[in-house]
C-alpha cells in the first residue's frame, strides 16, 4: 500500500538579531543585503502588543474556542472548523485592528529610528490565531513563498509581529536566509504562480527562533518564508503580518474604486480622484494572488472596493485589495 509520508522539517538555526545595528544605517544595509531580513528583540511597546492580544482573545472567546476566565487563552478543545482558513480573520480586518499597531506613537517611534524617516503603513494586514493542528504528522510548512512574486512593483517590507510567545511547537514563521539575491525559487505556469517546493530550498538556510511580544521580524519581498503548523496541545499562534515602507516618493496610492474596466481604474482617496491605465503589463492581483488577465478585472474588482495601487507614469504597475 502506498502511504504519503510527510517530508521531515529541516533543523533550523537561530535568526540573527539586529538590535546592535539600530542607528547605523550602513550596517543595517549590509545585514539586509546579506540576510534578507532584520530581526529585533524587545523593541515594540508591550502595552500596544497586549492590547492587540486582548482583541484576539476576545475573538476566540466569541468563537467558543477559549474560556474568558483563562488568562493564558488556551484552546479548550471545542470544534474549530468554523474558524477561517489559516485564521486570516476578516472580522478583525473589518474592525481595522491593524490601527492599534499602525497608529501607536510608541510603535512609530521605533520605525522612525530604523528608517531615519516616518513609516508608511500599507493597509494590508493578516491576523492569525492558528489553533493546534489535528494532523501532527503532516508537513509543518503551510505555504513556502516569497511575497515579491505576488506583488510585483509594490516595494513594501514584510513586517511580522508575534502577539504572544511562539515557541518551536506553536511554530510561527521560518525564513530562508540569504537566498533573496538569487533567482526566484517560484515557478510560473502561464500567469499562475506556483508555491516554492521544500526540496528546492537549501535545507541549511532555514532560520527561526522563539518569538516573544515586543519582537519584530522585517523581511525582504524576495526572502522565501513559511508559516509552521502549530503542533502544541492547547495554545494558539497569535501573530500579525503587516506591511511597511519608509515614507517617500514611491509610496502607493490608497483608496476606493470609483470606476474600473479592463483598461483603467479610477480611485478616490476621499478628496481627489486619480485615474490609472491598465494593460497586460499590470500585475492586478486575483483571488489566489496570481496575476489577472485584464479582461477578468471587472469580475474581481468593483466600485467601492478598497485597493492599493502602485503606479508609474499614470499606469498601474500593481493593484491589490486592502485588508
How does pLDDT run across 222-254, given as a tens digit for each residue? 999 999 999 999 999 999 999 999 999 889 999
Query: What pLDDT score was predicted for residue 192?
Result: 75
Pairing of strands 13-14, 206-208: parallel
- Main-chain phi, psi angles of 172, to 5 degrees: 75, -135
Q: Which residues, other chains included, contact 271 with Cβ-Cβ below 8 Å and sequence gap of 6+?
A: none
Instruction: Using a cut of 0.85, tell me whether the model's pTM lies above it.
Output: yes
**CB-hemisphere CA count at 13 Å for 306?**
10
Do residues 71 and 243 make contact, with C-beta atoms less than 8 angstroms apart?
Answer: no
- Distance CA(149)–CA(222), nearest Å, equals 8
Is 13-246 a CATH 2.60.120.620 domain? yes
Residues 76-86 as b or e (16 or more Cβ within 10 Å = b): eeeebeebeee
End-to-end CA distance of the chain: 45
State the helix-helix crossing angle for 46-62 and 105-115, rounded to 10 degrees.
130
CATH architecture assigned to 253-321: Beta Barrel (2.40)
Q: Which residues of the chain have pLDDT under 70?
A: 1-7, 85-88, 191
- Looking at residue 222, the DSSP 8-state letter turns out to be T
Q: Which residue intervals of the chain bear CATH 2.60.120.620? A: 13-246
The three-class DSSP label of residue 27 is: helix
- Distance CA(304)–CA(1), nearest Å, equals 53
Query: What pLDDT score was predicted for residue 136?
Result: 81
- Write the DSSP assignment of 246-273 as a string of letters: ESSTTPPEEEEEEEE-SSEEEEE-SS-E
Query: What pLDDT score was predicted for residue 59?
Result: 94
Do residues 36 and 177 make contact, with C-beta atoms less than 8 angstroms apart?
Answer: yes
- Write the DSSP assignment of 76-137 as a string of letters: -----TTSPGGG--HHHHHTTTTHHHHT-HHHHHHHHHHHSS-EEEEEEEEEEEEPPPS-TT
Query: What pLDDT score was predicted for residue 88?
Result: 61
Q: Residue 275's Cα: distance from chain center in Å?
A: 28
Q: Which residue intervals of the chain bear CATH 2.40.50? A: 253-321
- Distance CA(73)–CA(84), nearest Å, equals 18
Residues 289-304 as b or e (16 or more Cβ within 10 Å = b): ebbbebeebeeebeee
Q: Which residues, other chains included, contact 252 with Cβ-Cβ below 8 Å and sequence gap of 6+?
A: 122, 154, 308, 309, 310, 311, 318
How does pLDDT run across 65-111, given as a tens digit for each residue? 999 999 999 999 999 988 876 556 778 988 899 999 999 999 999 99
Amino acid at each position: 500500500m502506498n502511504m504519503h509520508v510527510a517530508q521531515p522539517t529541516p533543523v533550523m538555526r537561530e535568526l540573527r538579531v539586529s538590535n546592535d545595528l539600530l542607528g547605523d544605517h550602513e550596517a543595517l544595509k549590509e545585514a539586509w543585503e546579506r540576510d534578507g531580513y532584520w530581526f529585533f528583540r524587545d523593541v515594540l511597546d508591550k502595552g500596544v502588543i497586549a492590547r492587540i492580544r486582548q482583541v484576539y482573545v476576545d475573538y476566540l472567546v466569541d468563537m467558543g474556542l477559549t474560556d474568558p476566565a483563562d488568562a493564558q487563552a488556551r484552546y479548550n478543545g471545542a470544534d474549530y472548523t468554523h474558524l477561517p482558513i489559516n485564521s486570516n480573520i476578516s472580522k478583525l480586518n473589518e474592525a481595522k485592528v491593524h490601527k492599534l499597531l499602525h497608529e501607536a506613537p510608541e510603535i512609530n517611534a521605533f520605525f522612525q529610528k530604523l528608517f531615519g524617516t516616518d513609516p508608511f503603513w500599507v493597509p494590508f494586514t493578516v491576523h492569525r490565531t492558528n489553533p493546534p493542528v489535528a494532523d501532527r504528522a503532516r508537513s509543518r510548512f503551510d505555504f513556502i513563498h516569497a511575497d515579491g512574486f505576488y506583488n510585483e512593483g509594490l516595494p513594501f517590507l514584510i513586517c511580522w509581529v508575534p502577539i504572544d510567545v511562539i515557541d518551536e511547537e506553536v511554530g510561527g514563521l521560518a525564513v530562508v536566509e540569504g537566498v533573496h539575491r538569487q533567482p526566484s525559487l517560484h515557478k510560473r505556469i502561464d500567469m499562475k504562480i506556483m508555491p516554492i517546493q521544500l526540496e528546492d530550498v537549501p535545507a541549511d538556510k532555514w532560520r527561526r527562533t522563539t518569538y516573544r511580544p515586543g519582537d519584530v521580524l522585517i523581511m525582504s519581498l524576495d526572502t522565501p518564508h513559511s508559516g509552521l503548523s502549530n503542533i502544541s496541545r492547547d495554545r494558539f499562534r497569535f501573530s500579525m503580518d503587516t506591511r511597511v515602507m519608509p515614507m517617500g516618493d514611491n509610496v502607493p496610492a490608497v483608496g476606493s474604486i470609483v470606476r474600473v474596466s479592463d483598461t483603467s481604474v479610477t480611485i478616490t482617496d476621499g478628496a481627489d480622484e486619480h485615474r490609472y491605465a491598465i494593460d497586460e503589463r499590470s500585475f492586478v492581483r486575483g483571488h489566489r494572488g496570481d496575476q489577472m488577465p485584464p479582461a477578468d478585472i471587472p469580475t474581481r474588482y468593483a466600485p467601492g472596493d478598497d485597493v492599493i495601487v502602485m503606479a508609474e507614469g499614470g499606469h498601474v504597475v500593481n493593484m491589490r485589495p486592502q485588508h
